[in-house]
């Protein structure tokens, strides 16, 4: 590792001049010509500053602590990490990852991160909910990911669940479905009620009546399959909005038994936590992928904004939301992701 001292010697300048020049804070201190020379030789020598040493002085490390609960429980939640990692890398940050199982070691892990001098925290939840920011994060730049702050004081980023519900339903309406079912989840999840809200909203918006028999909430395995089979028999839906891939699968299984073809006899739009459905099921499926990657990506940019004050609201390379939303194909097109990603600002936590 070549040091700043070596560069100084080689360039015939002082370490001060080198430090200033390489940090572009030379104005009024170092002759431009010398600054140029310094930068050139630094380049030649392949000099890279040691973040450890500089952080000892500045107490800034250009590292971000990513705090997550059980990354594994929702497979594609790993995408949050991916997106965060990508953004961090673009912005010259490093990601320190810790995992907490529930609540026990959370404060401990956060403290460990602090010892390593992280500049800020990504506090990620693995399913969308209202959460309370741990007090040990008070006063430290923090972004809550895939959840929202109970106080609304902390920047947070989460999927737009209502929009997911109404977009999915609208897609089915556009496809000509007349009897659209919602196959929900019997657990009391935030996403569940919000998506159902979106579903009803879309139905109302299209002037369609809301038949309660078309709306079911199911559990898992055998009973779920049975409930969906009953839905088919009793309410004869021609379109299905499914809460997640498990529910999507139940619809598929029942359709197969009834010899109904997806995309022909019935239409299905399902939210896909796992992308497995999109990978394995028929090409006629329209899935809505949760914006895990985007949350990680945007969340990290937001965090760096908190840390540095840099404006990072416009993404550099990735065109997100609007671009992808604009490219929603017709229902019978290829598999497709509908993306929703909304940054909830400090001032207004709108749950809409």
What does 75 bind: a copy of itself, DNA, none (CB cut-off 5 to 8 Å by kind)? a copy of itself
Q: How far is the CB of 352 from a copy of itself (least distance, A)?
A: 29
248 touches 221 (CB < 8 A) = no
Q: Give the alpha-carbon dihedral of 19, 24, 25, 30, to 10 degrees.
A: 70
Cβ–Cβ < 8 Å for 214, 243: no
Nearest partner of 142 among 117, 123, 118, judged by Cα: 123
Rounded-to-integer distance, Cα 296 and Cα 81, Å:
6
* Of the candidate residues 44, 53, 89, 258, the single one contacting DNA (CB under 7 A): 53
Among 19, 85, 267, 300, binds a copy of itself (CB under 8 A): 85
Number of H helices, E strands in the chain: 13, 13
> What value, to the nearest 5°, has the Cα angle with vertex 326 and ends 320 and 332?
120
Map residues 291-330 to x or -, x wherever contact with a copy of itself holds by CB under 8 A. Answer: --x-------------------------------------
Work out what residue 121 binds among a copy of itself, DNA, none; the CB cut-off runs from 5 to 8 Å by kind: none
45 binds DNA (CB under 7 A): no
Is 139 a residue that touches DNA (CB under 7 A)?
no
- Give 189: exposed, middle or buried? Use CB within 10 Å, 0-12, 13-18, 19+: middle
Q: How far is the CB of 81 from a copy of itself (least distance, A)?
A: 6
Supply 70's token pair: 């059980």
Binding of DNA at residue 36 (CB under 7 A)?
no
Contact segment (CB under 8 A) with a copy of itself among 54-62, 130-138, 158-166, 342-350 equals: 54-62
Which residue, 4 or 214, has its beta carbon nearer to DNA? 4
> Hey, how many other C-beta atoms are within 10 angstroms of the C-beta on 22?
19
3-state class of 49 per DSSP? coil
Is position 105 an interface residue for DNA (rule: CB under 7 A)?
Answer: no
Could you give the count of Cα atoms lying within 13 Å of 60 in the half-sphere of its Cβ?
A: 8
Residue 112: exposure state from Cβ atoms within 10 A (0-12, 13-18, ≥19): middle
**186 forms part of the interface with a copy of itself (CB under 8 A):** no
Piece in contact with a copy of itself (CB under 8 A), picked from 12-20, 74-82, 140-148, 187-195: 74-82
Q: Kindly report the CA angle at 202 between 200 and 206, in degrees rounded to 5?
A: 115
113 scored as a contact of DNA (CB under 7 A): no
Least Å distance, CB 75 to a copy of itself, is 3
Which residue among 11, 13, 21, 66 contacts a copy of itself (CB under 8 A)? 66
Residues 273 and 146 sit within 8 Å (Cβ to Cβ) = no
Interacting residues with DNA (CB under 7 A): 1, 3-5, 13-17, 19-20, 22-23, 25, 28-31, 34, 47-50, 53-54, 56-58
Interacting residues with a copy of itself (CB under 8 A): 1, 48-53, 55-56, 61, 63, 66, 70-72, 75-79, 81-82, 85-86, 89, 94-99, 105, 109, 111-113, 115-117, 220-222, 225, 245-246, 249-250, 252-253, 256-257, 259, 274-277, 279-283, 293
């Amino acid at each position: 590792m070549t040091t700043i001292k070596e560069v100084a010697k080689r360039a015939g300048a002082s370490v001060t001049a080198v430090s200033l020049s390489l940090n572009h804070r030379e104005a009024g201190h170092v002759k431009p010509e010398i600054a140029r020379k310094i930068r050139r030789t630094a380049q030649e020598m392949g000099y890279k500053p040691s973040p450890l040493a500089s952080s000892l002085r500045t107490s800034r490390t250009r590292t971000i602590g990513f705090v997550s609960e059980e990354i594994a429980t929702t497979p594609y939640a790993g995408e949050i990490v991916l997106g965060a990692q990508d953004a961090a890398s673009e912005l010259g940050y490093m990601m320190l990852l810790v995992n907490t199982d529930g609540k026990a070691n959370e404060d401990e892990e956060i403290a460990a991160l602090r010892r390593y001098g992280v500049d800020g925290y990504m506090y990620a939840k693995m399913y969308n909910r209202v959460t309370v920011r741990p007090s040990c994060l008070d006063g430290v730049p923090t972004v809550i990911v895939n959840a929202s702050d109970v106080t609304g004081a902390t920047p947070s980023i989460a999927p737009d669940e209502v929009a997911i519900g109404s977009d999915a339903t609208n897609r089915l309406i556009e496809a000509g479905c007349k009897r659209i079912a919602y196959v929900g989840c019997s657990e009391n999840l935030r996403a569940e009620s919000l998506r159902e809200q979106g579903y009803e909203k879309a139905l109302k918006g299209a002037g369609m009546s809301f038949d309660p028999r078309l709306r079911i909430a199911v559990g898992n395995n055998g009973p779920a399959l049975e409930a969906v089979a009953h839905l088919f028999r009793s309410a004869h839906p021609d379109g299905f909005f499914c809460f997640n891939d498990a529910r999507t699968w139940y619809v598929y299984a029942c359709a197969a038994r009834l010899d109904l073809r997806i995309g022909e006899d019935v239409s299905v739009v399902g939210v896909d936590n796992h992308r497995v459905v999109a990978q394995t099921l028929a090409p006629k499926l329209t899935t809505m992928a949760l914006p895990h990657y985007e949350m990680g990506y945007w969340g990290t940019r937001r965090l760096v904004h908190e840390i540095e004050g840099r404006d990072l609201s416009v993404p550099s390379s990735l065109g997100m939301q609007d671009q992808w939303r604009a490219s929603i194909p017709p229902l019978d097109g290829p598999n497709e992701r509908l993306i929703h990603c909304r940054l909830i600002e400090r001032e207004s936590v709108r749950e809409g």
